[in-house]
Structure 1
Amino acid sequence: MTTHIGITEENRKAVADQLAKLLADEFVLYTKTRNAHWNIEGADFHAMHLFFESQYQQLDDLMDSVAERMRKIGHYAPATLSQFLQLTHLTEISDRKNDSAGFIKELLEDQESIISFLRGNINTFANTYKDLGTSDYITGLMETHEEMAWMLRAHFGNA
């Protein structure tokens, strides 16, 4: 059935294409956060194990909401690892050790990359594509990522 929500198909497709990239970024960040949870080592193991668990649980919810937003505007969400790796702005490559400082630095960089991507699309979604709903949605998502980045940054004492 055709989606009739007051936004042209061309504009909904353009928004969905950007949301697909976002979903890929969320999935890669989720996977990297799971890696940190599983492989953290050091004197702060237990605290960081629990911290990374709370972050990946948040990311799991965010991924679901991004995919559902795509469905609400009439498009399918990518759902394969190969699609995610083709769409993501992030990288899986890492040269850090399995300590909290290394994981936090890497995850913080990825969070900030997602924040910048979201911020760069807020006005475009609203003004160019006439999708105020998705613009509002990603504004809230950006605020969630800002809080998650703050929690990571706080470990370095310059939050």
Structure 2
Amino acid sequence: MPPPSTGPVGIHIGISEENRGAIAAGLSRLLADTYTLYLTTHNFHWNVTGPMFNTLHAMFMQQYTELWNAVDPIAERIRSLGHVAPGSYAQFGQLASIKDVPTTPPKALEMVRILVEGHEAVARTARGVFPLADQANDEPTADLLTQRLAVHEQTAWMLRSLLED
């Protein structure tokens, strides 16, 4: 009788180990950016003040809810590729391209500007992973990235329109 297996079961999904690793690393950066933007948006929801309070408070809630619902599919795709999803503030701090928010909440329109920059940054991160997924014929990752790009680009546009005179 052979000894029980102590290592992980091999992954044979038609994507090489090297490509799975590169895609998972890119998705880990996307996860870190998404979670950081979620936290920033939730912070702004709690701390927004001024004449646009009701509008921004409600808008930020919609946005952080969408972001919260996005982190799980990203993390689960990383796991599907055979890698561990990052999940600590320390890891997210190392992986994210988005800066942490100031400790003193900014004014409402500055919050909007910061969120525009955040959504644009997440879009750039997602777009940077796309060639890896495309090259590896990783359609599920490409689909996930396409969905995330659409959300972040549209949200950036909507927020940006609040900054125009």
- Asked if Structure 1 and Structure 2 have the same fold, meaning a TM-score greater than 0.5 normalized by the shorter chain, the answer is yes
Alignment of 1:60 with 2:84, yes or no, is no
Shift in Å, 1:116: 1.6
* Deviant stretches of 4+, over 4 Å: none
1:24 partner amino acid: A
Aligned to 2:150: 143
Alignment of 1:8-87 (within 5 A): 8-87=16-95
Distance 1:111 1:96 in 2: 21
Displacement of 1:93 in angstroms is 4.6
**Partner of 1:110: helix, strand, or coil?**
helix
The superposition leaves residues 70-106 of structure 1 with CA deviations (integer Å, 9 ceiling, x where unpaired) of 1122222111111110111111154985322110000
Q: Which runs of 5+ in 1 are unaligned?
A: none
Q: What stretches of structure 2 of length at least 5 have no aligned partner?
A: 1-8
Match status 1:117 vs 2:86: no
How many residue pairs end up in the alignment? 157
- 132-141 or 78-87: bigger deviation: 132-141
1:11 alignment partner AA? N
Calculate the TM-score normalised by the size of structure 1. Answer: 0.90
Alignment deviations for residues 6-35 of structure 1 (CA, whole Å, 9 cap, x no partner)? 111111011101111110001110111011
Q: Max radius of gyration: which structure? A: 2
The alpha carbon displacement at 1:40 in A equals 0.4
Kindly state the Cα deviation for residue 67 of structure 1 after the two structures are TM-superposed. Answer: 0.6
2: distance between equivalents of 1:121 and 1:26?
Answer: 14
Output the aligned Cα RMSD. 1.8
TM-score by length of 2: 0.87
Distance of aligned partners of 1:17 and 1:28 in 2 relative to their CA distance in 1, 3 Å threshold: same
